[in-house]
Structure 1
């Protein structure tokens, strides 16, 4: 049987791809790969969240407010190992949090906008 087994990549249109890549490297500490993007190995996320490491694919209603204040039709959820540290790093680069952080049963969340005005949801799974 043919099954979808995961997300193989996320690809973004950007007015200035080099500036966007630089923003992700500088603000979030992501290390560029040789193919013009960034890689995420699953080993680290599985260590942090062994019972639930996964990628969520979730359609939202066209009138959903969840992506606001971004006007782009999608947002990114990036799994982090230290939400407080990541948000402090972003703040040191002049990037402000969009709304109060949330602590839920399935992790802690914080939100920022990237270089292109795309909403980024930072998620630290529970230990």
Structure 2
């Protein structure tokens, strides 16, 4: 059986694609403009379907949620707050998995940030 090798891309609709690209670059450090792909660090990727009525993604209209791995969750959340981003006050820890925090991008998409357990 053929198997997937990994995530090849993530595509999102935006009212202002240029502004959203700038936000991801300036707030999260994601340099993924143009034809040059973003080279990620190797690490775990979780694929998990959720119930259709979950409120975990924020808005009910949001059908998927992007989860980014981060080295230092507290530092990333502070960086986002310093840039005026809509950061959730809540964080969560799952034993053996890591710590989680959330930010909402300028288009209203909730994003999960994950500091994996070492």
Aligned partner of 1:62 in structure 2 is 52
Aligned partner of 2:114 in structure 1 is 123
On the 8 A contact 1:77/1:123 being kept in 2, the answer is yes
Aligned partner of 1:86 in structure 2 is 76
Structure 1 consecutive aligned stretches of length 4 or more whose deviation exceeds 3 Å: none
Unmatched 5+ residue regions in structure 1? Answer: 44-52
User: Distance between the aligned counterparts of 1:31 and 1:76, measured in 2?
Assistant: 16
User: Distance between the aligned counterparts of 1:85 and 1:70, measured in 2?
Assistant: 29
User: Distance between the aligned counterparts of 1:33 and 1:21, measured in 2?
Assistant: 7
Q: Tell me the C-alpha RMSD between the 2 structures.
A: 1.9
Equivalenced residues, count: 117
Aligned partner of 2:65 in structure 1 is 75
Unmatched 5+ residue regions in structure 2? Answer: none
Q: How far apart are 1:71 and its partner, in Å? A: 3.2
User: Distance between the aligned counterparts of 2:30 and 2:8, measured in 1?
Assistant: 18
Q: How far apart are 1:6 and its partner, in Å? A: 1.8
Cα deviations by residue, 1:2-59 (Å, 9 ceiling, x for unpaired): 22222211111111111110000111122234327x614234xxxxxxxxx3212222
Cα deviations by residue, 1:50-71 (Å, 9 ceiling, x for unpaired): xxx3212222221111111463
